[in-house]
Structure 1
Amino acid sequence: MSDFSNFHLSDRSKIITKELPGPISRELLEEQSRLEGSIVSYPKSFPMAINRAKGAIIEDVDGNHLIDFFSSAGVVNLGHCNEEILEYTSQQQSRLIHALDYPTRLKLDVIKDILSCLPEDMADQYKVSFVGPTGADAVEAAVKLAKIKTGRDNIIAFRGGYHGMTTTALALTSNTRFRSKFKSLDANVHFIPYAYCYRCPVKKTPDTCHTDCVDYLGEVLENTFSGIVKPAAVILEPIQGEGGIVVPPPGYLEKIAQVAKENDVLTIFDEVQAGFFRSGRFLSFLHSDARPDIITMSKGLGGVGFPIAAILYKKEIEAWSTGDHVGTFRGNQVSLAGAKGAFDFVRKHNLIAHIDNISILLNGKLKALQDEFEVIGDIRGKGLMIGVEIVDDRQTKKPAPQTAKKIRDNCFQRGLIIELGGYHDNVLRLLPPLIITPDILTDAVNILHNSLKAIYEN
């Protein structure tokens, strides 16, 4: 099994300036503020200007090395500038870059790679369409296909779900902070509770839960007085990302798909963030036996950050005709080369075994932190998609967003990038590159420990 040590810029964090941002970063941040639009967001949370990155290490323009435990929002699953994958993309750039939606050997090989990663009972039942080039594009395409197939407009989404920032994708996203400035989006979207067991929406406990939240979906679909006309589809993230790494209990996804099927409603699983081996499986729903009608993919599919998006869907719901969904940048050939390189890399290095092993190490270290610090209320996730929920009190589970923010900011100053999420912005979202080494992971957790200690002791 590969140890991946050669795929990283260095083996640990290194902060050489007095504070972050350093002086050169400050100059570039000020210049950015003058020249670039105000929608810029990440430099507000992590103020730095980047020089280069490799593996799990980002080097800023001042020479500081920071550990990326966010993988650039889950895009660089196989690490920054993975040289094995870059060999594929550099060779492709001299052959063919843009080919609209014409067939190429490369595109067909990537489609075969995608389908080959599905269980045997699924592989020959699905087709692939490249949309693009972002996850929101995949969501838009999935919803469009569902509406064409069923002839209906309504969509049921879930609280805590995040599906993108384009019009329909934003309408499916429950965070009202993103939606509050718009007088209208897609009006035919209805939200129901997700299985957030740490904060159960129907007030059950593990010993009394029978996935009652699925019964709520059944009630909505079957009760003619629910106020919701039969939808085209139900869309959900099998593991909620932005919502705080919320993992539903065993059997939940299967029951959602079954209830939808019984009511002639399609099921869309959004795997944009949790997909491409992030959870330790090719797609996160493959930890279950659920079989959705449509699956969205993007982010990690591009290997090391090349933009690409696709949907997988059952052949039986093929409903659109030539040109029903077009786009100039569908399946860019360089992005496809990145995807091909990524699939080959996963197989060559037996990456799933590495993820399983390294996730055990990470969870063990996080559990030790939980034993030491009362502010850690819950640790949950699959593979290398982990959420650490910060609370004021473990008994009341009162969210502690300000404490979470202090932890994130303190970690950044010490050389660790962790993003926040969750219904209350109180969850540390840990998404390190899948090629993270034990040494870099240990350094990252030590930084987290020191940050907790500094905050807790004050």
Structure 2
Amino acid sequence: MDPLKKYHLSETSKIVSSSIPGEKSKALLELQKDIEGSIVSYPRSMPIAIKRAKGSIIEDVDGNQFIDFFGGCGVLNVGHGNDYVLDYVKKQQEELIHALDFPTENKLSLIKTILKKLPKNIQNDYKVCFGGPTGSDAVEAAIKLAKIKTGRDGIISFTGGYHGMTSGALAVTSDIGFRNNLTSLMPNVHFAPYNYSYRGELNESMGSKNDSIEYFRNLLTNSHSGVCKPAAILLEPVQGEGGNIVPEEGYLEELVQIAHENDVLVIFDEIQSGFFRTGSFLSFMNTKAVPDIITFSKGFGGIGFPISGLIYKKEVEAWGPAAHIGTFRGNQVSIAAARGAFDFIESHNIEEHTKNIGAYLTDKLIQLQAENPFIGDVRGVGMMIGVEFVKDRKTKEPFPEFIKNFRGECFKRGLLFEVGGHYDNVLRLVPPLITTHNIVDAAIVIMKEAMAVCMEKHLEPTFA
């Protein structure tokens, strides 16, 4: 028996109501519509009211159980309600919950663990600070630190990048759909094309590593690029909302080298790709690139506790007391949850499991691609996987209509996942890292059934 099985409610979906959503969920969804603000988003595409969850399984108020390949938007790295982590949480709740930025053994122990998880040759070069509880807070702090350190205020971000919804974080997020109604945000932000090898940004070739690197180099070195020397560049080592895009080998290393040659700091946003999501502690550790500042959040809370902060080089230290604060920075219970998650990952060899189960899921998806002409690309690393749907594999025309239907059919059968990408045509999979082989098999069965139904709704194009 898989030793991780006990951390899940079950290993398959179970639909017991006559309709999805069920009657109890419908009632709560209607109540939510009446009394909660209209910014609510996830229940619009996954209309359920949740009662409980454990591991990779969510149960709604009607008793239906869903396989969760959404993972709380990449937060629940060691699963919902992990008992191992909850033991740390319960103990901490009895001792201390709120401590601002006073030192505690709990917090300093976590900091030491974080630093020890970095590559040995750079462990002593970094320090850690905590900010507000969300990833956006970490991005705001990273930008602020870079500006203070360099005395410059420009930021170069990358197309497809998502960094949060607060003013500064939104300004460096490329999707203008999030800010169409906002006339002003943080100024002096410029965007360079990310290495999206499957689909070029400006043209088909611009997706290649070399072309995107040269575009970036030109921004920093050409006096007629129109871009003054920035304080920093900011990017995700593996893009999340942009479509779970993994850059080509050597891309990050070259970006960092060019930035440093031009006295520009490098910020890696590891909010979604970090905390073992790719099999390594942080996704940049799959490469030889070394950033100056790293943002973290999401999975660091283990089972959904809010926490965020920075890991940055000591030489970047530039701010003094209270230069960046937050009443809820470094919440002691969230810190205890992070410590529990670190210990769980080590004791259950989750790093290796993530690599293995990620490869297993990817292989299954590649088999699905061979059976379906609308799947143009399957990509990913660890348990951060993207499946891109296209109308034709030669033209690569996005096919968001198909994935919308596919998602609905999967939902009715008990499988949850998010859709993203530049054209809302990418199935984004960020399941809990403790997902078992049986759960993957159950999810693939649902996908195959849903795919068969969706194929009947669309004309089948010629295979590429």
User: For the superposition of Structure 1 and Structure 2, which TM-score range results when normalised by the shorter chain?
Assistant: over 0.9
Instruction: Trace 1:150-189 onto structure 2 (pairs within 5 A).
Output: 150-189=150-189
Contact 2:53 2:81 (C-alpha < 8 Å) held by counterparts: yes
Could you say what secondary structure the match of 1:197 adopts? coil
Q: Deviations over 1:53-98 (max 9, x none)?
A: 0000000000000000010101111000000000000110010000
Could you say what secondary structure the match of 1:145 adopts? helix
Contact 1:2 1:349 (C-alpha < 8 Å) held by counterparts: no
| Cα shift at 1:187 | 1.7
Contact 1:3 1:437 (C-alpha < 8 Å) held by counterparts: no
Contact 2:246 2:380 (C-alpha < 8 Å) held by counterparts: yes
Tell me, in whole angstroms, the C-alpha distance in 1 between the residues paired with 2:10 and 2:258. 50
Could you say what secondary structure the match of 1:399 adopts? coil
**Residue 8 in 1 paired to residue 8 in 2?**
yes
Instruction: Trace 1:124-163 onto structure 2 (pairs within 5 A).
Output: 124-163=124-163
| Cα shift at 1:209 | 4.8
Tell me, in whole angstroms, the C-alpha distance in 2 between the residues paired with 1:268 and 1:152. 15
Q: Deviations over 1:140-187 (max 9, x none)?
A: 000000000000010000000000000000000011110101010012
Could you say what secondary structure the match of 1:368 adopts? helix
Indicate how the Cα distance of structure 1 residues 243 and 428 shifts in structure 2: closer, same or farther if over 3 A, else same.
Answer: same
| Cα shift at 1:409 | 1.2
Match of residue 54 from structure 2: 54
Match of residue 446 from structure 2: 447
Instruction: Trace 1:35-434 onto structure 2 (pairs within 5 A).
Output: 35-201=35-201, 203=203, 209=208, 211-434=210-433
TM-score, scaled to structure 1: 0.98
| Cα shift at 1:136 | 0.3
Could you say what secondary structure the match of 2:260 adopts? helix
Contact 1:390 1:401 (C-alpha < 8 Å) held by counterparts: yes
Q: Which residues of structure 1 form unaligned runs of 5+?
A: none
Matched residues, number: 457
Contact 1:79 1:435 (C-alpha < 8 Å) held by counterparts: yes
Tell me, in whole angstroms, the C-alpha distance in 2 between the residues paired with 1:305 and 1:204. 39
Contact 1:202 1:213 (C-alpha < 8 Å) held by counterparts: no
Contact 1:277 1:352 (C-alpha < 8 Å) held by counterparts: yes
Runs of 4 or more consecutive aligned structure 1 residues displaced over 4 Å after TM superposition: 202-206
Indicate how the Cα distance of structure 1 residues 133 and 174 shifts in structure 2: closer, same or farther if over 3 A, else same.
Answer: same
| Cα shift at 1:211 | 2.0
Q: Which amino acid aligns with 1:92?
A: Q
Tell me, in whole angstroms, the C-alpha distance in 2 between the residues paired with 1:428 and 1:200. 19
Tell me, in whole angstroms, the C-alpha distance in 2 between the residues paired with 1:215 and 1:21. 50
Q: Deviations over 1:326-349 (max 9, x none)?
A: 110110000000000000001100
Q: Deviations over 1:356-393 (max 9, x none)?
A: 11112111111110000001000001000000000000
Q: Which residues of structure 2 form unaligned runs of 5+?
A: 458-464
Q: Which amino acid aligns with 1:22?
A: G
Q: Which amino acid aligns with 2:368?
A: L
Could you say what secondary structure the match of 2:386 adopts? strand
Q: Which amino acid aligns with 1:200?
A: G
Q: Which amino acid aligns with 2:356?
A: N
Match of residue 22 from structure 1: 22
Q: Which amino acid aligns with 1:232?
A: A
| Cα shift at 1:295 | 0.2
Q: Which amino acid aligns with 1:133?
A: P
| Cα shift at 1:418 | 1.1
Q: Deviations over 1:303-359 (max 9, x none)?
A: 100000010000111000111001101100000000000000011001111111111
Tell me, in whole angstroms, the C-alpha distance in 1 between the residues paired with 2:122 and 2:219. 29
| Cα shift at 1:190 | 0.5
Q: Deviations over 1:20-44 (max 9, x none)?
A: 1100000000111111000000010
Q: Which amino acid aligns with 1:256?
A: L
| Cα shift at 1:202 | 5.8
Give % identity: 56
RMSD: 1.3
Tell me, in whole angstroms, the C-alpha distance in 2 between the residues paired with 1:307 and 1:268. 21
Tell me, in whole angstroms, the C-alpha distance in 1 between the residues paired with 2:450 and 2:389. 13
Tell me, in whole angstroms, the C-alpha distance in 2 between the residues paired with 1:142 and 1:205. 32
Contact 1:92 1:337 (C-alpha < 8 Å) held by counterparts: yes
Could you say what secondary structure the match of 2:387 adopts? strand
Tell me, in whole angstroms, the C-alpha distance in 1 between the residues paired with 2:203 and 2:28. 49
TM-score, scaled to structure 2: 0.97
Contact 1:399 1:424 (C-alpha < 8 Å) held by counterparts: yes
Q: Which amino acid aligns with 2:400?
A: P
